Amino acid sequence: MLFRRYILLFLTLLSLSLQGQQYPVDIQVFATPPYPQSLRGYADTFEEKLQAHFLLKDLSTGGRPFVLRLSLENFQGQVIAQTPDYIAPYLVNLTPGVRRTLTNIDFKSLLKYENLYGINESSYNGLLPEGTYFLCLSLYDSATGRPVSNKGRAMLQVRRYAPPIPTMPQKGEVLTKKNAFQHIVFQWMPRDIAPFMQYEFTLKEVWDLSLVPEEAFMTGRLVYQTQTYAPALAYTNMMPILLENKRYVWQVRAFTNNPNNPNEPSYFKNNGNSETFYFDLVSHCEAPKFLTAISESTSAQLRWSAQAMMPNQEYPYKVMYRERGKSWKSQKVSMPNAKLTGLKRGRTYIYKVGVACGLNATHSSSVFGQENYMYSTEQEFTTTEQIDQKSQVQCGVKPEVRIKNTSPLQDNLYPNTTFTAGDFPVTVLNATGSNGVYSGEGYVKVPYLQDTKIKVSFTNIKLNTEHQLIEGKLVTTYDQTERNVQFVQEGIGEVFGDKGKKDQKMPFEIENENNIQVDSISGRITITGKVDPKTGIAPKVTLPKGRDYVITDSKGKVYQLDESGKVTAQGTKEEGTQLAQQGGKGDSKNPPISNKHFKVEWLFNDELANDTTGEIPYKALVKGKTSSFELRIQPADTTKYAFYFHTKDGIKVDAESKGDGLYRITRKGAFDFAQEELWVVAKEKKDKKGKKEELIGKCVLVHLSPKEVNVALVPTQSGQNLQEAIAQVQQIYEKVGVTLHITTEPPFDINDQLKNGTLPTENEFGDLSTYSPEQNAVIAKFTTKRKPKENTYYIFLVNDGTGDHGYMRLGGQYGFVYSTNARTIAHELGHGIFKLEHPFKGKNADKGKTTALMDYNKGQDFFYQDWKQINDPKVKLYAFQGQKEGENLLLKNSPMMVQRYIEYFRCTKKQKGTIYSDADKTDVYAEDITIDGVKYAKIVIEFLGKNNIEFKNHFSPKDYQNDKKEIHNHSKDKLVITFGGTIRFSIFSKDRFQLISYLYSDNDKHIELVKGILSDISAYRTEEGAFEYINSLDVCTLSSIDFDTIKKVLKTLTSSQTSLTETKEKAIIRILSSLKEQDFPKFIALLKEDNYKVFNRLYTDL
């Protein structure tokens, strides 16, 4: 069983960890922060950043040196760089029993680039990506090459520090000069504290007010620059005098200055530069005065003195407010008052009011995209603790709203403006409209969902002058299926299990493909280079299988490997262009296509698929097959220019000139699934330095793996000749490397399943997840009469006079084609074998717009998205979806399962968790079942899927805080009720409502009862009965059991002398699956008790 394998693997790994190998030498490695963030930093530093302590514990060993090797690993243990075994060894002499200490200064040579492999020079010199790394040291016997020590590891934390955040003056603030003395306080907030950190403050004058702050900072006139250790600066008369009616920009740069290593770089994001802030220094501007606040439980009314209006200034005020210790929020208003809503009860808020009077206050849209404001001093108010009963939020009950004010709001709805809808405040994200009618988007904070923000949209709603909703409604923008974003199959290829090809450069020459072998023991790819004449050693590199590789050796020879490690193609580096030499690095990573001198026309005239729907064409190649196609370069100027053909990585591609600018490209499919870009480069023949090269054409070559599929056609009438249709279907799929082995079944009579002479089909434009009842009946009859093979797809050829159409479930084994049309058969097989979907959605969508096989037209093409889907490792051939068609969806009479799911419902509801409508939860029923002392005639439990009807994996989990009961059928002796659209109970009994009461009752007594039984499980009437009782418990109840009880159960289960049965195995697995993360240390301790008694029994049984 799969569960048994998982447990066996877990226990095996645990046993290995409990019994570590002992070595004669013990190594301990320590790293001293701050950590250099590049490998070169450890090699160049003069500080002792690494300390390694060596202790030779074996007193009988000594007198000979050991070889020290170094490696850098990421957090997952993957080696990034390591010391190769073919360089001159670094020897360490140890004396038995005497500890020896070495530092990075001592073994600096091991950290140099020329003594490492697995990492290129740019990565060695550059900064490591952020994350956790381990720098490891190991000792090896100089004679045998075997390890003689443990791997000593020092953990390194590599991270970039965030630049500081400017806080004062605020961005866009207006300052006024009231006297001859200038005193401006600049402040910023450090987000990270770095060692030896300093700040560089820069202030510049803006000359061009039309520039954004960042551009203005680059081009502005430098006014003042200084360095400081403090996160603040007082700008006084000791600094250059600032001029009135000018705009100034300022920025802070954080950097580190290590006195012990002056050359150490700073490790800050954005080079330590903060955001660019600006302010206006004006001669006269008066901030609002006489601020007052009248606060309630969740709102506050603010008022202040009116200011003289500037011409055309419609919205001159901006209110800034925040809860103490939180970030600022803003709201624009046109009058000297504002109402703040959505506040928290009993909290203190800080607020201030600004008036627009910057350099461009005469215009409603200032430079830099916003107005500048002169702010008042900060004030405070505190909301009341008492709840206003009229505005109290009531869960699940629509509040009664009586609004007498119907005067339309005259202001615009700016972002962060708040209006109220019933008893919910809505914060605006964006909106359009005027005269009280608005459309846009916003969000609602739901208090009883822990202030969860729910996005809403509104169309033509009406607001009054108090910012209250008086007409219209809000609609949540949540889309359960998210199919409005893209086709479902498009997302599958983007999260491929197949990660494509990986480029590897070897620092040595590989003589031929025989030097690339798969090790029969380790299963890894071993690459052996030529023997080094100086050392007599042949260098080796080991790579894991499971990836397509492009291996390039030091001489430019290229070997292409598939996922199994087999060499599938060979090539060489293109030496004629600089783009090829750079190999897609630096400026050549993604150069633009130039059409200045040439135009490339792609002529895909071979039998394999291509996709030219986008700007860059795609061409399919099949692994192991050589394909040829043509392209034409116009004009064909070969006197001045030479044309080169190579991949983005610089690998030469075979191209034969046919004259008149026509070239024939030949390329062999080499990978299971990978993409490589084919570049066409034009270069002037006189150009020797590669300065006059042009990328004039690009095509993406997509390598596909060949596949073979068995298909059987089942005619429903005799006398049909299908050979021509079979050949056409096979030819369609050969374009993408799929070989269909198609056979023909004897005719199969379906007359008894026809309805009015026809066979009704499921919706061909739906989600292709089910069959019609009549189609299910045909499938059920066929599986009974013919015993179909598990490795074959079946197509029923139905000739009922309804026309040329078909239907096949996504991933299904059976399809129905209502003709003998080859294209229709191929179309339906795309649905069933590879789960290909239509490139349109819905019956009324535009169809027939493309030449795709999966569209409704006469086309027979597979497009790039189809190739990805067909080669997705997640698409398993013959892995037919769900339950077999024609079977009953409900289990037989199962009181134990019904009882388990009832307790699962009660426990999950109590924990406010989620019941998932998962395919693993099979619908059940039980007759004459007793629950909590009440006997019921029959109880049916169904786990609902989409639309509460279909049984499949698409589901929407429901939170029981919002759970609603919906009664579908209520009669004298029957009650059908759905909870949150997730689970449905059908109760056949006069006591039907007692079960509903039990479902919503507290299950603490049940959990305590379970604890009591489990604590004394050894006293259960029979051993097998104890196992069955554990299996009857639901997972939620088991997760509520404390570890002491679980410990007693495990000891009891493992002390049994009976052999392992399936019931016992399930019981053990259910108990182990109920362990909580915080109990893992206790579980490990339990395994070690009594000389690993529990561990040994689990290992033996499982």
Q: How many C-beta atoms surround the C-beta of residue 700 within 10 A?
A: 16
Cα(738)–Cα(733) distance, integer angstroms: 5
Query: Is 852 in contact with 866 (CB distance < 8 Å)?
Result: yes
- For 549-588, b where at least 16 C-beta lie within 10 A, e where not — what string? bbbbbeebbbbbbbbebbbbbebebbebbbbbebbbeeeb
Model confidence over 1007-1021: pLDDT tens digits? Answer: 777 777 777 776 665
**Residue 156: which residues within 8 A CB-CB, separation 6 or more?**
31, 35, 132, 133, 134, 135
Q: The domain at 573-705 falls in which architecture?
A: Sandwich (2.60)
Domain coordinates of the chain in residue numbers?
A: 23-158, 165-282, 285-392, 393-478, 481-534+543-571, 573-705, 707-790+821-870, 895-1002, 1007-1101
Q: Is the pTM of this model over 0.85?
A: no
Cα(322)–Cα(340) distance, integer angstroms: 11
Answer whether residue 502 shows pLDDT above 70.
Answer: yes
pLDDT confidence tier of residue 252, bands split at 50, 70 and 90? very high
Average pLDDT rounded to a whole number, residues 611-626: 88
Answer whether residue 114 shows pLDDT above 70.
Answer: yes
Cα(516)–Cα(524) distance, integer angstroms: 11
Answer whether residue 204 shows pLDDT above 70.
Answer: yes
pLDDT confidence tier of residue 391, bands split at 50, 70 and 90? very low
pLDDT confidence tier of residue 485, bands split at 50, 70 and 90? very low
Q: Is the sign of the CA dihedral 681, 684, 687, 691 positive or negative?
A: negative
Cα(800)–Cα(785) distance, integer angstroms: 22
Pick from 241, 240, 250: which is nearest to 216 by CA?
A: 250
Cα(140)–Cα(91) distance, integer angstroms: 10
Which one is predicted more confidently, 60 or 200? Answer: 200
Q: Which of 405-414, 675-684, 1059-1068 has the lowest mean pLDDT?
A: 1059-1068
Which one is predicted more confidently, 806 or 951? Answer: 806
pLDDT for the residue 235: 94
Model confidence over 645-693: pLDDT tens digits? Answer: 988 888 889 999 988 889 999 988 888 888 888 999 988 887 766 667 8
Highest mean pLDDT among 300-309, 527-536, 548-557: 548-557
What does residue 420 show for φ and ψ, rounded to 5 degrees? -105, 135
**Residue 192: which residues within 8 A CB-CB, separation 6 or more?**
161, 162
pLDDT for the residue 672: 80
Average pLDDT rounded to a whole number, residues 218-226: 91
Answer whether residue 365 shows pLDDT above 50.
Answer: no
Answer whether residue 946 shows pLDDT above 50.
Answer: no
Q: Which of 3-7, 141-145, 338-342, 865-869 has the lowest mean pLDDT?
A: 3-7
| CATH no. for 165-282 | 2.60.40.10
What does residue 781 show for φ and ψ, rounded to 5 degrees? -65, -40
Cα(442)–Cα(726) distance, integer angstroms: 57
pLDDT confidence tier of residue 1037, bands split at 50, 70 and 90? confident
Which one is predicted more confidently, 283 or 879? Answer: 283
**Residue 544: which residues within 8 A CB-CB, separation 6 or more?**
524, 525
Answer whether residue 948 shows pLDDT above 70.
Answer: no
pLDDT for the residue 392: 32
**Residue 1061: which residues within 8 A CB-CB, separation 6 or more?**
1024, 1027
pLDDT confidence tier of residue 70, bands split at 50, 70 and 90? very high
Answer whether residue 721 shows pLDDT above 60.
Answer: yes
Model confidence over 30-54: pLDDT tens digits? Answer: 998 888 888 888 888 888 889 999 9
Q: What is the DSSP string of 77-100?
A: --EEEE--TTSPPEEE---BT-EE
pLDDT for the residue 312: 46
pLDDT confidence tier of residue 276, bands split at 50, 70 and 90? very high
pLDDT for the residue 194: 84
Which one is predicted more confidently, 781 or 392? Answer: 781
- Kindly report each contact of residues 608-613 with a partner whose C-beta sits within 8 Å and lies 24 or more positions away, as own/partner: 608/735, 608/736, 608/737, 609/735, 609/736, 609/861, 609/862, 609/867, 611/861, 611/863, 611/864, 611/867, 613/850, 613/863
pLDDT for the residue 692: 76
Which one is predicted more confidently, 122 or 903? Answer: 122
pLDDT for the residue 566: 85
pLDDT confidence tier of residue 87, bands split at 50, 70 and 90? confident
pLDDT confidence tier of residue 248, bands split at 50, 70 and 90? very high
Q: How distant is the alpha carbon of residue 740 from its chain centre?
A: 35
Cα(151)–Cα(135) distance, integer angstroms: 10
Answer whether residue 875 shows pLDDT above 70.
Answer: no
Answer whether residue 745 shows pLDDT above 80.
Answer: yes
Cα(985)–Cα(474) distance, integer angstroms: 33
Cα(339)–Cα(467) distance, integer angstroms: 9
Tokens of 216: 């203005």
pLDDT for the residue 748: 92
pLDDT confidence tier of residue 489, bands split at 50, 70 and 90? very low
Cα(808)–Cα(917) distance, integer angstroms: 24
For residue 668, list its beta bridge partners.
626
pLDDT for the residue 1060: 62
Q: Which of 255-264, 424-433, 673-682 has the lowest mean pLDDT?
A: 255-264
Region for residue 984 given its phi and psi (left: phi exceeds 0; alpha: psi -120 to 50; beta: otherwise): beta
Q: Which of 367-381, 514-528, 726-740 has the lowest mean pLDDT?
A: 367-381
Cα(302)–Cα(294) distance, integer angstroms: 7
> What's at 33, amino acid-wise?
P
Which one is predicted more confidently, 887 or 760? Answer: 760
pLDDT for the residue 11: 56
Instruction: Please give the share of the chain, as a percent, with pLDDT higher than 70.
Output: 79
pLDDT for the residue 230: 92
Average pLDDT rounded to a whole number, residues 471-483: 54
Sheet hosting strand 540-543, strand order edge to edge: 516-518, 525-528, 540-543
Average pLDDT rounded to a whole number, residues 949-976: 54
Query: Is 58 in contact with 98 (CB distance < 8 Å)?
Result: no
Pick from 646, 629, 456: which is nearest to 550 by CA?
A: 646
Answer whether residue 630 shows pLDDT above 70.
Answer: yes
CA distances, 653 to each of 274, 607, 645, 681 (Å)? 48, 20, 5, 12
| CATH no. for 285-392 | 2.60.40.10
pLDDT confidence tier of residue 1054, bands split at 50, 70 and 90? confident
For residue 52, list its beta bridge partners.
29, 102
Average pLDDT rounded to a whole number, residues 472-482: 54
Cα(112)–Cα(39) distance, integer angstroms: 8
pLDDT for the residue 358: 63
Cα(918)–Cα(921) distance, integer angstroms: 6
Fold match between domain 285-392 and domain 573-705: yes
Which one is predicted more confidently, 584 or 613? Answer: 613
The pLDDT mean for the chain works out to 78
Q: Which of 145-159, 364-378, 454-468, 828-842 has the lowest mean pLDDT?
A: 364-378
Cα(742)–Cα(797) distance, integer angstroms: 14
pLDDT confidence tier of residue 892, bands split at 50, 70 and 90? low
Fold of 23-158: Immunoglobulin-like (2.60.40)
Cα(94)–Cα(475) distance, integer angstroms: 75
Q: Before 788, cis peptide (omega within 30)?
A: no
